[in-house]
Every structure is written in structure tokens, then in C-alpha cells.
């Protein structure tokens, strides 16, 4: 892709309205455009990153046996009245009336709708467990939308729901998602720590928030530093090993604001390991038993002929928020250098040929390189403009493809100037570059 033909509206300076670095960068390189308060259009660069995150989230849901569905954004108020949340949810819910004067709403979450889907078809314990998920837009009329897509009103979320009959099985389902979240965030090159959390308006008794550390985060956290040293190693999808994995994390005191208890913190964590800081919530998992299945009468036949309400959990990941969270974790705002993890980078590599009117041989070379890269599924962006070298590099550093090839007048023969962002440049041939990138991409 030529930069001159791309829709990447780069701003010369940081937009003054953006208070945190992810918002700054996203506006600066035109990843998003606000359409009204807390509502954004996603432009090509931002959309590419979000779609890659979505795909990783999807793959990791599929790996634990969750099945993808797609529920609508607009829901009927009826099911929310059944669960009792229509009144409780308050002003965050966007309520709409259709032409028949029926009360509708733009879904802020989907427990009711998925319970309705479940109860209409699943009648026997033999069909359990059921793990269903979808990746869909949500709307919450946040009182103070801010920080760009980090806290906005319309956002893209993966929400999954589990249905089981015993507490033990439900716990197994919960742990599957616990593992899948660790795997997902690892592939995004994020250190997201599971922290015991309150269940809030969703209700229930077991809950973890997955949080990445960031000064600009809105979640206050209290934790034992040693939890950051834990490797989120992979584990078999089997009851005991999954329980062990969760227990390994739970051994270290690590909670969000609403679960915080000063005495407990000081008793369980020695002074040198205490960390009180802020983070960004990127995922949240809940177990809430029959909180929805009971009022909504979602039950199945048990082995002995009796019936019981299913036990449910729900599991969210902020797919669009993750775009900002990755920037918060990876963007060096002082030097204005972004390095996307290769797993979600909008482009794998940037090609920067030095071009002037009389001599476009470097662009020809860039084109030939691009042909070879394409054959190997490597996605490149080429700066085909005649701007000076430093402004070209500056631009590419903001766009954040993790690798760069620089083609100057002195580039002769087979050796190219190749650079991984934040590392020293090296002179190597294209075959080697392709090998490096393929290896990196294979690890995703």
C-alpha cells in the first residue's frame, strides 16, 4: 500500500483535546474519528488493528470450545423486565421506542438475550456445557465518556456466556475462560493480571478483572508485586490443571478498588511487595449461578427426571478498548515511536525509499521488494512521497509497523537497511528479512 493513496490522515501535532497517549496517537495517525460524544468511526489504520485483535480473541474462544453466534444490537425491553434489570440498569441504558411504541434498547450487555436463546432450545443436561459468545457493538450511555475509545459510549466487545448444571461444572467453564484470557492477552503481548473483583450490576459471587498497568487507567488496584512474575503458562483444558492455574494466581493478593481491604492487604502482603497503582480493565469474567436463569425460567432436565435452573457465567473482553490499551503499553510518547506487536500491527513492515523527482529508482526497488513480501503474506506500507527522510521516518514511527526497510541512494546490490523499531539497523538481504518476519509471524 502506498502512503499517498492510503486513508491515513496524519496530523502534524498532537491534538490538544487528547489527554492520554493512546487517544493522542489514535487521533494523530487517524485511526479513529469522533462522530459525536463517545461515538467514533474507525478509519482504516485503527480498523485493521481492531480486526486483528478481534480475530485473536475469536481464535482463543474457539480453542476452549466456545461457539460463536451473533446477537443483534437492538433488544426488546421484555426480557430485561423478566430479569428485573430494566429498571436497575439506570441511565447507562439507551432506551428507544419503535414506531409501534414498543420499548426497545441498544444492548449494553447480553445476559438476558442469550438466556432467552438458550431456554428456547436447550432442554436437557445432556447438551451441557454450552459456551456461547459473540463479538458485537455495545452501547452504554456513560456519564463521562473520555480518553477516546477507552471509555466511550459505543464500543466493540466480545461477550461469552456459559451454561452448566452443577457449581463444579460451572467452575470448570469459568476456568476455561480464565485460561483463554491469559492466552489472548499474551498473544497481544500484554501483561494482563487477573484480579479479584466485585460483580457490580451483573451480580454473582466469583469474578476477576484482567488489568494491565497504566498510570492513565481508571481502575485502582492493590496487589502483590510478585504476581507480575508469574508466567501465564499454557495448561491442558482439564478440570484439575485449570483449577491449579487459577489458584496459582489467586495465591497473591490482587484486588480492585471495591474488593480492597486495608487490613487484609497488610496482613497478606509484606511491605516490600505491596503495590498500589492504576490499571486499565481489558476483560472481566463473572460467575453468577442462577441469577438470570431463575427469573427467566431457563432450566433443563436432570438425570433423575427433576429439573433445575442452569448456572451461568459471563465473560467480556473490551476489543475496541484493547486498541488503546496496547498503545498505552507500547507507545513511547516522548520520542513519538509506536511499535505494534506483530500480532496486531496495521502493517508488518514499512518501506521507506528516498525519492526525488528525477530519480524514482528507489521506488522501483521498493515495489519489487513489496512483490516478494506479498508472496510471503507480509503486509507492507510504502512511503512513495517525496518528503525528506526525517519526516518520512517520523511518520512511519507513528504508524508503528514494527519493522522498516530504508532504501537510500547508497543502497546497492542485495543488502538492505533493515530495522526493527527500537533496535539498531542492520544490513541484510531480502531473503533474510523475509525469514525474520515469517518467524515472528509464526509465533503469533
- Name the residues that contact ligand ATP, by CB under 6 A: 109, 140, 142, 151-152, 155, 157, 281-284, 316, 318, 320-321
Q: Whose Cβ is closer to ligand ATP: residue 285's or residue 416's?
A: 285
Nearest approach in angstroms of CB 201 to ligand ATP is 8
Beta strand 193-196 with 154-164 is unpaired
Residue in 130, 124, 88, 129 with CA at minimum distance from that of residue 109: 88
Nearest approach in angstroms of CB 214 to ligand ATP is 13
Nearest approach in angstroms of CB 218 to ligand ATP is 6
Nearest approach in angstroms of CB 298 to ligand ATP is 21
Q: Whose Cβ is closer to ligand ATP: residue 318's or residue 353's?
A: 318
What H or E segment, with its residue span, contains residue 274?
strand 274-289
Q: How far apart are CA 290 and CA 286, in angstroms?
A: 12
Q: Whose Cβ is closer to ligand ATP: residue 85's or residue 392's?
A: 85
For residue 38 the three cell numbers come to 463517545
Q: Whose Cβ is closer to ligand ATP: residue 183's or residue 395's?
A: 183
Q: Whose Cβ is closer to ligand ATP: residue 137's or residue 389's?
A: 137
Q: Which residue number has the CB closest to ligand ATP? A: 318
Nearest approach in angstroms of CB 321 to ligand ATP is 4
Cβ neighbours around 434 below 10 Å, total: 17
For residue 361 the three cell numbers come to 529508482
Nearest approach in angstroms of CB 138 to ligand ATP is 7
Q: How far apart are CA 348 and CA 427, in angstroms?
A: 18
- Burial of residue 333 (CB within 10 Å: 0-12, 13-18, 19+) is middle
Which pairs from 364-368 meet CB under 8 Å and 24+ separation?
365/407, 365/411, 366/405, 366/407
Q: Whose Cβ is closer to ligand ATP: residue 176's or residue 208's?
A: 208
Answer whether 280's CB lies under 8 Å from 323's CB: no
Amino acid at each position: 500500500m502506498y502512503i499517498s493513496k492510503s486513508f491515513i490522515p496524519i496530523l502534524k501535532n498532537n491534538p490538544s483535546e487528547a489527554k492520554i497517549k493512546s487517544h493522542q496517537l489514535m487521533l494523530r495517525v487517524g485511526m479513529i474519528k469522533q462522530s459525536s460524544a463517545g461515538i467514533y468511526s474507525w478509519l482504516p489504520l485503527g480498523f485493521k488493528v481492531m480486526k486483528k485483535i478481534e480475530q485473536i480473541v475469536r481464535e482463543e474462544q474457539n480453542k476452549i470450545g466456545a461457539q460463536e453466534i451473533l446477537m443483534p444490537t437492538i433488544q426488546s425491553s421484555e426480557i430485561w423486565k423478566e430479569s428485573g434489570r430494566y429498571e436497575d440498569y439506570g441511565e447507562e441504558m439507551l432506551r428507544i421506542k419503535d414506531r409501534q411504541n414498543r420499548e426497545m434498547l441498544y444492548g449494553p450487555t447480553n445476559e438476558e438475550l442469550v438466556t432467552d436463546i438458550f431456554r428456547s432450545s436447550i432442554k436437557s443436561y445432556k447438551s451441557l456445557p454450552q459456551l456461547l459468545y459473540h463479538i458485537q457493538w455495545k452501547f452504554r450511555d456513560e456519564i463521562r465518556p473520555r480518553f477516546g475509545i477507552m471509555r466511550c459510549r459505543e464500543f466493540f466487545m466480545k461477550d461469552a456466556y456459559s451454561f452448566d448444571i452443577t457449581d463444579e461444572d460451572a467452575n470448570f467453564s469459568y476456568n476455561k475462560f480464565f485460561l483463554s484470557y491469559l492466552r489472548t492477552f499474551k498473544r497481544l503481548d500484554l501483561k494482563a493480571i487477573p484480579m479479584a473483583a466485585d460483580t457490580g450490576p451483573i451480580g454473582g459471587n466469583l469474578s476477576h478483572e484482567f488489568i494491565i498497568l497504566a498510570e492513565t487507567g481508571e481502575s485502582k488496584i492493590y496487589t502483590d508485586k510478585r504476581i507480575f512474575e508469574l508466567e501465564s503458562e499454557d495448561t491442558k483444558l482439564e478440570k484439575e490443571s485449570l483449577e491449579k492455574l487459577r489458584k496459582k494466581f489467586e495465591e497473591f493478593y490482587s484486588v480492585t478498588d471495591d474488593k480492597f481491604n486495608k487490613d487484609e492487604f497488610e496482613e497478606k502482603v509484606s511491605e516490600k511487595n505491596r503495590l498500589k497503582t492504576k490499571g486499565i480493565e481489558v476483560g472481566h469474567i463473572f460467575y453468577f449461578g442462577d441469577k438470570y436463569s431463575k427469573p427467566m425460567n431457563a432450566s433443563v432436565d436432570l438425570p433423575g427426571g427433576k429439573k433445575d435452573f442452569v448456572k451461568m457465567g459471563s465473560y467480556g473482553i473490551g476489543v475496541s478498548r484493547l486498541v488503546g490499551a496496547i498503545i498505552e503499553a507500547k507507545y513511547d510518547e516522548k520520542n513519538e515511536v509506536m511499535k505494534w506487536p506483530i500480532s496486531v500491527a496495521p502493517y508488518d513492515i514499512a518501506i521507506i525509499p528516498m525519492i526525488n523527482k528525477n530519480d524514482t529508482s528507489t521506488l522501483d526497488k521498493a515495489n519489487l521488494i513489496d512483490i516478494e513480501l506479498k508472496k510471503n503474506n507480509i503486509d507492507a506500507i510504502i512511503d512513495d512521497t517525496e518528503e525528506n527522510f526525517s519526516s518520512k521516518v517520523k511518520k512511519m514511527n507513528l504508524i508503528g509497523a514494527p519493522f522498516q526497510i530504508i532504501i537510500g541512494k547508497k543502497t546497492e546490490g542485495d543488502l538492505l537497511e533493515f530495522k526493527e523499531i527500537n533496535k539498531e539497523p542492520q544490513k541484510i538481504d531480502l531473503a533474510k528479512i523475509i525469514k525474520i518476519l515469517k518467524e515472528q509471524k509464526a509465533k503469533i
